[in-house]
Amino acid sequence: MQISEFPKLEKKTVTIKGWVTNKRTSKGLVFLIIRDGSGFTQCVIDEGIVKPDIFEAARNLHQESAVECTGVVVKDEKQIEGYEFQVTNMNVISIAENYPITNKPHGVEFLIDHRHLWLRSRRQWAIMRIRNQIIYSIHSFFQEQGFVQMDAPILTGNACEGTSTLFSCDFYDSKAYLTQSGQLYGEAMAMAMGKIYTFGPTFRAEKSKTRRHLSEFWMIEPEMAFYDNDMNMDLIESFIKRLINDVNEKCKNEFSMLNRDTAIFENIINKKFPRIPYNEAVKIIRGEIAVNGKTTIEILNQELIKTTGRISEINKEISEKEAELKAPGIKLGKQNFIQNKIDKLKNELKELEEEERNIPQWLESAKNFEYGNDLGGSDETVLTMLFDTPVMIYNWPNHIKAFYMKRDETNQELAKGVDVLAPEGYGEIVGGGQRETNIDLLIQKINEHELPMEAFEWYLDLRRYGSVPHSGFGLGLERMVAWICKLKHIRETIPFPRMYGLLTP
């Protein structure tokens, strides 16, 4: 049986198999927190109930030892997920050596080096479950609407936006690249099937360490024949609403493990996402237009005051705790407890101090944002601080978007692209748009971007034979997971992250 099935098994005697994540002993009792992959539960081993050798074995278990326990499922509101397991028999499957990840706070460098083990921890468990739910909902959403999933190749001969961010490899003595987007192939497939989506790994050689860039990430790229950019935006909005609705219904337990306040989800499900043309977004970023009565400049100044206030609170708390540690005759248990608290506070302090340094820079760059530039990470963060739903920025300057993006008929300077920025400071999660159908313009742009024309002949065929208006977008799965879980860094959103400087484990 699995721990997740406990609600159906009340008062029944069942057997579970799992690993010890925590152990506490008191007179005549051993409490084990067992995880079995499906969930976590507290097992109670009572000296008065089990055989003496079993009690002794339980007392000697280490973290991550594997056991098989037989016992009774008992309802108890105070316990994890409302149940406790009263053990009648136990069989030790394997004894773990000293497990490197303890219940003390560890630095993230250490944890990332131990990713193969870190995945077992409760927080990672919750994130991976949410990721799984999102993947499930993505397929459900598109399949229910008649989209066909088709896969784009991962090895490609041509770069769709230049080669600077591509990983290259040897392909039978000629050069191949790992795909950075399945889009061009998606267009070909949409002309065969009408509505398709690809869902595969994509690769970008971005030689910088940011909290939102991975070298290998999973992208969902729908492509629809006969869709203009307005229809595209409608689809994106209902798609994101569906993902939020599903996690909100199905992952309550996971969100509570992550301390993720989910109040914003109701907003997102019920409110219309603002659609803002790029030129207006520029004015908002610069603080020239207020949204809901506030400008970016005001919001940032408030944030700065809040951050500084919290920093001095924490500093005070830390020195109080450090004084407590020096008290004469303090017991070891208490000492560890206080030290744990101090370590946690220091971690929080580090993050706040970083924010305190960042905010004035964000302010400067927001005020001086120039029309025609692409939005940088901090501009996106600043802009989305004003909203409690995702926002869609459309009608971008032509010159900062890819060669295949459709030019606006009424203004040659603009392209019919859309970026979706997630709220709570997260920034871009979707990039998309309508595709250029004018073959002469496409040829001109391919030349302007100095891309090899022969590599795009097949793509131009799509305009020669049965060309129709069409649109699509790409959603980065890990960006979505990071925002939904409200994680500080994208590295926790994928089982084994690949980033600049990170290739193992």
- The least distance separating ligand ATP from the CB of residue 447, rounded to whole angstroms, comes to 22
CA 480 to chain centre: 5
Residue in 206, 280, 343, 424 binding ligand ATP, rule: CB under 6 A: 206
213 binds, among Mg ion, ligand ATP, none (CB under 5 to 8 A by kind): ligand ATP
476 binds, among ligand ATP, Mg ion, none (CB under 5 to 8 A by kind): ligand ATP
Give the total of residues touching ligand ATP (CB under 6 A): 15
For residues 286 and 380, the answer to whether their CB atoms sit within 8 Å is: no
57 binds ligand ATP (CB under 6 A): no
Rounded CA-CA distance 88/90 in Å is: 7
Stretch that binds Mg ion, among 18-26, 98-106, 144-152, 427-435 (CB under 5 A): 427-435
The continuous run of DSSP H or E covering 439 comes out as helix 439-448
CA 494 to chain centre: 8
For residues 372 and 255, the answer to whether their CB atoms sit within 8 Å is: no
474 binds Mg ion (CB under 5 A): no
- DSSP percent split of the chain into helix, strand, coil, nearest 5: 45, 25, 30
417 binds Mg ion (CB under 5 A): no
CA distances from 348 to 236, 254, 308, 345 (A): 35, 22, 13, 5
Q: What does the block give as tokens for 252?
A: 């309550």
> Residue 436: helix, strand or coil by DSSP?
coil
For residues 278 and 371, the answer to whether their CB atoms sit within 8 Å is: no
Residue in 23, 129, 406, 479 binding ligand ATP, rule: CB under 6 A: 479
Stretch that binds Mg ion, among 36-44, 64-72, 308-316, 426-434 (CB under 5 A): 426-434
**Closer CB to Mg ion, residue 18 or residue 417?**
417
410 exposed, middle or buried (CB, 10 Å; 0-12, 13-18, 19+)? exposed
- The least distance separating ligand ATP from the CB of residue 215, rounded to whole angstroms, comes to 7
422 binds ligand ATP (CB under 6 A): no
- The least distance separating ligand ATP from the CB of residue 388, rounded to whole angstroms, comes to 20
Within positions 81 to 100, which residues make up the interface with ligand ATP, using CB under 6 A? none
Amino acid, res. 100: P
- The least distance separating ligand ATP from the CB of residue 375, rounded to whole angstroms, comes to 8
CA 128 to chain centre: 10
Within positions 457 to 476, which residues make up the interface with ligand ATP, using CB under 6 A? 474-476
254 binds ligand ATP (CB under 6 A): no
- Map residues 217-236 to x or -, x wherever contact with ligand ATP holds by CB under 6 A: x-x-----------------
**Closer CB to ligand ATP, residue 39 or residue 497?**
497
Rounded CA-CA distance 341/339 in Å is: 5
For residues 83 and 76, the answer to whether their CB atoms sit within 8 Å is: yes
Residue in 71, 431, 472, 476 binding Mg ion, rule: CB under 5 A: 431
204 binds ligand ATP (CB under 6 A): yes
Q: Is the peptide bond before 397 cis (omega within 30 degrees of 0)?
A: no
Rounded CA-CA distance 133/221 in Å is: 18
489 binds ligand ATP (CB under 6 A): no
CB-based contacts of 317: which residues, under 8 Å, 6+ apart? 345
**Which residue do the tokens 């699509």 mark?**
472
Within positions 271 to 290, which residues make up the interface with ligand ATP, using CB under 6 A? none
Stretch that binds ligand ATP, among 36-44, 95-103, 143-151, 428-436 (CB under 6 A): 428-436
429 binds ligand ATP (CB under 6 A): yes
Binding residues vs Mg ion (CB under 5 A):
431
Site of interaction with ligand ATP (CB under 6 A): 204, 206, 213-214, 217, 219, 428-431, 474-476, 478-479
